[in-house]
C-alpha cells in the first residue's frame, strides 16, 4: 500500500466502545473480548431508532452472515427499542459500535451502533464491509490491528492522519482505538489475521516495521473458523 493512501483510507476507520479502557499489555492477543461475550445460542435483540427502508434492509441483509452457519447466535429484529439490546441509528457521522454485551449498560433511548456511511447510492461491497465489521464488534470482536506489535507504530503519522478530516479524532480517541492493547487474560484470539473483516486499512506509513493491511471486504477464513469456535 502506498504511503499517500493513508489520507484516503483513514475514513474507513470506526470507533469501538468498551465498558472501560483496556490496560496496556504489549504481549496481549486480540480477538474476542471475553467480558463482552454473549451466551452461545442466545438471541441478540436489535432495534432501529431511525433509517430509511433501504438502509434497514441493507443492515438486515448483510448482518446475518455472522449467524448463517457460523456463530450460534440469533439476531432478533424488534420494533420497541425498550426491548432491545442493540439499537441502530444512521444519524451521526462515521460508523461505530459498542463491543458485545457492553450495550446492556447503555440507556435504552440511546444508540449502540451507528452507520454514517450507508448513504443513498452506497455500493453493496462497501455496505457489506461496514455492516459486517460493526456487527463483528456487536458480537464481541475488537479491532484486529490492535494485535500488531505495539512498538511498531509510527505514532506521529497515525496521529497526523486520524486527527484530520474526515475522522478528526482527538488524542484520547486515537490512543484508545489505535494504540491501546489488552491484558492477555481478557482476550480469546488467534494469530494476527491481516485479512480479517475486523482489520481496517493500515498504510505502511503508519508502521515502522513495513507492515501494512489493505481494505478487507469479506469475512476471512480465520474469521469464520474463530467465530464458530467462540459461539459453538
Report d(CA 7, CA 10) in Å as an integer: 5
Most confident of 12-16, 172-176, 181-185: 172-176
What is the rounded average pLDDT of the residues 137-146? 87
Distances (CA, A) of 58 to 63, 82, 210: 8, 23, 36
Give percent of the chain above pLDDT 90: 57
DSSP structure class, residue 191: S
pLDDT at 29: 31
SS3 letters across 111-151: CCEEECCCCCCCCHHHHHHHHHHHHHHHCCECCHHHHCCHH
Residue 3, pLDDT above cutoff 60: no
Range of the structural domain that residue 62 is part of = 3-230
pLDDT score of 18: 40
**Could you tell me the pLDDT band of residue 1, with boundaries at 50, 70 and 90?**
very low
**Domains: count for the chain:** 1
Least confident of 109-123, 132-146, 175-189: 175-189
pLDDT at residue 147, as a whole number: 66
Q: Is the pLDDT of residue 58 over 60?
A: yes
20: confidence class by pLDDT, cuts 50, 70, 90: very low
At 2 the pLDDT is: 24
pLDDT reading at 12 higher than 50: no
User: How do 86-89 and 113-115 pair as beta strands?
Assistant: parallel
Q: Which of 14-28, 47-61, 195-209 has the lowest mean pLDDT?
A: 14-28
Q: Is the predicted pLDDT of residue 200 greater than 60, yes or no?
A: yes
**CATH number of the domain encompassing residue 58:** 3.40.390.10
Question: Hey, is 19 helix, strand or coil?
Answer: coil
Query: Does residue 83 surpass a pLDDT of 70?
Result: yes
pLDDT of residue 148: 67
Q: Residue 89: pLDDT above 80?
A: yes
Amino acid at each position: 500500500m502506498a504511503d499517500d493512501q493513508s489520507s484516503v483510507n483513514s475514513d474507513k476507520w470506526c470507533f469501538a466502545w468498551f465498558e472501560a479502557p483496556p490496560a496496556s499489555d504489549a504481549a496481549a492477543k486480540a480477538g474476542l473480548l471475553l467480558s463482552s461475550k454473549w451466551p452461545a445460542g442466545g438471541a441478540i435483540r436489535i432495534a432501529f431508532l431511525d433509517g430509511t427502508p433501504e438502509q434497514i434492509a441493507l443492515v438486515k441483509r448483510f448482518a446475518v452472515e455472522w449467524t448463517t452457519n457460523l456463530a450460534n447466535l440469533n439476531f432478533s429484529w424488534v420494533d420497541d427499542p425498550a426491548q432491545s439490546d442493540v439499537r441502530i441509528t444512521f444519524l451521526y457521522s462515521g460508523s461505530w459500535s459498542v463491543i458485545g454485551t457492553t450495550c446492556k449498560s447503555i440507556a435504552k433511548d440511546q444508540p449502540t451502533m451507528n452507520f454514517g456511511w450507508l448513504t443513498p447510492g452506497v455500493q453493496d461491497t462497501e455496505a457489506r464491509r461496514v455492516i459486517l465489521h460493526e456487527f463483528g464488534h456487536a458480537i464481541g470482536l475488537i479491532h484486529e490491528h490492535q494485535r500488531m506489535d505495539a512498538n511498531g507504530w509510527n505514532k506521529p503519522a497515525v496521529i497526523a492522519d486520524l486527527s484530520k478530516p474526515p475522522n478528526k479524532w482527538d488524542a484520547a480517541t486515537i490512543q484508545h482505538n489505535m494504540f491501546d492493547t489488552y491484558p492477555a487474560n481478557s482476550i480469546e484470539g488467534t494469530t494476527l489475521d491481516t485479512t480479517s473483516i475486523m482489520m481496517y486499512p493500515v498504510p505502511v506509513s503508519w508502521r515502522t516495521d513495513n507492515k501494512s493491511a489493505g481494505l478487507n471486504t469479506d469475512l476471512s477464513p480465520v474469521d469464520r473458523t474463530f467465530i464458530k469456535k467462540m459461539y459453538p
